Amino acid sequence: MRGNHLSGNLPIHLCYLKRIQLLDLSRNNLSRGIPSCLKNFTAMSEQSINSSDTKFRIYGINETYIEIYGGYSLRGYKLGITWMWKGVERGFKNPELKLKSIDLSSNNLMGEIPKEVGYLLGLVSLNLSRNNLSGEIPSQIGNLSSLESLDLSRNHISGRIPSSLSEIDYLQKLDLSHNSLSGRIPSGRHFETFEASSFEGNIDLCGEQLNKTCPGDGDQTTTEHGEPPVKGDDFVFYEGLYMSLGIGYFTGFWGLLGPLLLWRPWRIAYIRFLNRLTDYVYVWLW
């Protein structure tokens, strides 16, 4: 249903499609929010499918279903689709075996991304780009361990990038550009491999990927969570050593030179001592 003139909100009846694996409503005029009941997409909640012993029902053009065992049609029917995959339109012959994707891009959807999306553990691709979504990125997206492509670009999403995104091992394409994100870009695992284009257009975002230092990078008085750093034994030792040297230098300097500078009799006695010492050394050498 991509590229039509559909308008209005996403119907609640979508949530009854428990076995749906591909949902493409992109390039329409849909508005309002994304329903939280999408967690009812049972097929997208399954993390993996074993094609050798799993039975699928694929609805064809003639509105009758065809039973497929292990990916082979009993009537010789082969399902093929074109799909926007990681930013490129590609063809898939048996998408029901792996591809589980939601594409709601290029609409006028508003509101926050529902945290219930974290229930779709088998989701491989999620594209919500080019909408008017706001709020923060739900940390529950980090539960999508099968996710390979995530595109939330060109919205009004704010807040920090949740560190849970860096825990998604299979994530290959990430686009969070042109939002209102702030703070430090998370690090860890493969997150450093994403290019600057994945984060550009977020004025308050900082990190190595953008070659932009974050406030407080030069201040080591607090940890990443805002807590004072734990001082180890070496730190305490060197802190005491430098403090002792400073006190010793101050005491020795003013203990010796202070009286000479401030009290005249001491200066006279010190000069006489130096004269006698000089005479003694001179006589001893000659």
Q: Tell me the angle at which helices 264-285 and 233-262 cross, rounded to the nearest 10 degrees.
A: 100
Tokens of 90: 């590609």
Output the average pLDDT for the chain: 77
pLDDT band at 162 (very low <50, low <70, confident <90, very high): very high
* Residue pointed to by tokens 């994403």: 194
| CATH domain 7-49+98-210 topology | 3.80.10
CA distances in angstroms from 39 to 35, 55, 101, 149, 176, listed in the order given: 9, 22, 13, 19, 23
Q: What is the pTM of this model?
A: 0.63
Q: Where in the chain is the domain with CATH 3.80.10.10?
A: 7-49+98-210
pLDDT above 90: residue 30 = yes
At 278, give phi and psi (nearest 5°).
-65, -45
Both structure tokens of 110: 């508003």
Grade residue 191 by pLDDT with cuts at 50, 70 and 90.
Answer: confident
- Residues, the chain: 286
Q: What is the pLDDT of residues 55-105, one digit of tens each?
A: 333 333 333 333 333 344 434 445 544 545 445 555 545 545 457 899 999
